[in-house]
Amino acid sequence: MENTKNNIGLKVALGIALALFLGTVFYTSKLYNDKKENEAQLTEEKALVMKDLTAMSAQYDLAIGENEVANQRIVEAKERIQGLLDSLKVSETNVRSLWRYKKKYLALQDEMDIILAENDKLKVENKLLASSLDSTRVQLEERAMFTDSLLVQNTELAGVVEDASSLTMLGLKGFGVIERSSGKLIPTERARRADKIRVCYTVPQNKLAKSGDTEFYIQVLDPKDNVLGINEQVVFDEGIKTLNYSMISKFNYENSSLDVCEFVAANGDENFEKGRYVVNVFNKNELLSTSTFTLK
């Protein structure tokens, strides 16, 4: 009887031991499988981060290729991305490490959005500048042709005297101003705060020039090449040439240096737009000077 009880107890103990062993095997197997799944998932996420970083680097390559002189900020940002890629390739694949790289990637993404937006703005401004320079070049070529024609018709001395007696201009500049009710003017670079555009220039002393009432045509172009102010048109050379101007600057010239300032308003009740503005001043159809400024 006692032997029977011992056998039963042994069997129970063996059963419990077997159950514990099988449970341990099952639990260990589950931990191993979970580890493999986590490693596979982390490896996949690491590959996605590297793919995103490679795509960002390609966008910078495209931006650099579009400029003859590469933007230094773009070059430096691309170098940071390449450094992060190199580091990520050799890094351990774990949650902590991957999360750190994801944070760096997100920061680089925000930086790229800002840099590329600024780069696009620069491209637009460069196109506008090129267009303005082409227009000025055409006018200067026409002026040169006109001057050559005068030299053919007149003696060399007469041509020199003619040029010397023409009024010139110095220090042309335009900028936005806030106009207080007291009449006080405060310069501003903010488009939404500007009440008017102020245009100032100096007519230098010229004893050979004709004295008396004089007028120049001021033309202010907004970032969309719209003519601000009254935007009226004047015709020269029997309809051959026309000029749209913002206002007529009138002053009395007495052969001594004279400082002149004028104001140009926005079109209608509209506010000034953000961007690059161009100021041109003409003596009849002759371009005397051009200047640019920016409202933010």
Shared-domain flag, residues 186 and 87: no
Domain-located, residue 140? no
Give the CATH number for residue 267: 2.60.40.10
pLDDT, tens only, 125-181? 666 766 666 667 777 777 767 666 656 565 444 444 444 567 788 899 999 999 898
Shared-domain flag, residues 15 and 114: yes
Predicted pLDDT of residue 264: 92
pTM, entire model: 0.46
| Beta-bridge partner residues of 83 | none
Under the banding of pLDDT at 50, 70 and 90, the label for residue 238 is confident
Domain-located, residue 291? yes
The 10 Å CB-count burial string (b at 16+, else e) for 132-155 is: beebeeebeeeeeeeeeeeeeeee
pLDDT, tens only, 16-67? 766 665 556 555 555 545 555 555 565 666 677 777 777 777 776 776 666 6
The 10 Å CB-count burial string (b at 16+, else e) for 81-104 is: beebbeebeeeebeeeebeebeeb
Domain-located, residue 173? yes
Q: Is 103 helix (H, G, I), strand (E, B) or coil?
A: helix
Which residue range(s) make up the domain with 16?
2-123
Report the range of poorest mean pLDDT among 90-99, 115-124, 192-201.
90-99
Give the C-alpha separation, 104 to 91, whole Å.
14
Examine the fold and report which residue of 102, 123, 144 is the final residue of a domain before the chain moves on.
123
Our count of domains for the chain comes to 2
Q: Is the pLDDT of residue 285 over 50?
A: yes
225 by Cβ neighbours in 10 Å (0-12 / 13-18 / 19+) ranks as exposed
pLDDT, tens only, 194-209? 999 999 999 888 877 7
pLDDT, tens only, 33-43? 555 555 556 56
